[in-house]
Amino acid sequence: MSFREKIHWIAFVSIMGTFGWYFWTLPAAADAGPQGLWASAGLLLVPVLGITAVTTIGTIIFALRNPKEANAQEDERDRSFQIRGTHLAYYPMVVGSWLCIGLIFGGVSQPMLLRIILGMVVAAELIRIGSQIYFYRRGY
Amino acid sequence: MAQTPFLNDIKTLRFLAGEMTQGDLGDAVGVTRQTIAAIEQGKYSPSLEVAFRIAHVFGKPLEEVFRWQQA
């Protein structure tokens, strides 16, 4: 497995784990009265710090184990995977954006809107990174 | 598994070039070892620039490295 593929796996698993926890915990915090929205926003620190810590430590470990590959610049195949992954991630962003626009006019609560927007961003990131892992596994 | 519509002789040319490794060729061309492996296996179509660079490393014209495969 290449260095870049390992890094993508770390990002994918850390996002799944931390945001999985976040969305599991969020309803109780968001519905806990008028301060719920701020509590939900504050809880975001956990996944943000968690992802940063896990990806940083993981990258350092894998870079130390294979410094040559870690220092190599990404090539045209890496870039093509990135472009295709970003292209696929565009769709949940568009669908989620239109959904949010509709829900704003439907009078949805702010905490619920926050959950949907975050869910949309996390889904897009997982598709972007997950599709790149798939392309690396497939080889082309 | 999708295959590129052309064949290549990179593996043979590497062997003839002093058993050059995929990593060595990748370094000479400016791509990763994994990309050379994908090209060799016919999984990935390189850009024209990379194809020319590969041919240049072996001192061969492009058509001696890559050959169109008739369907």
CATH code of residue B51: 1.10.260.40
Range of the domain at B35: 6-63
> Is A77 within 8 Å of B41 when comparing Cβ atoms?
no
Angle between helices B48-58 and B22-29 (to 10 degrees): 120
Sign of dihedral through CA atoms A139, B2, B6, B11? positive
Least CA distance to B3: which residue of chain A?
A140
Listed in sequence order, the DSSP H helices in A66-109 are 67-71, 76-105
Angle between helices A110-138 and A3-30 (to 10 degrees): 160
Residue ranges of E strands in A8-128: none
Decide if B48 is inside a domain. yes
Boundaries of every domain in chain A: 3-138
Position A32 pLDDT exceeds 70: no
- Using the Cβ of A139 and the Cβ atoms of chain B, whether some distance falls under 8 Å is answered with yes
Per-residue confidence (pLDDT) for residue A28, from 0 to 100: 67
Number of domains in chain B: 1
CB A84 within 8 A of CB A135: yes
pLDDT tier, B62 (very low <50, low <70, confident <90, very high otherwise): very high
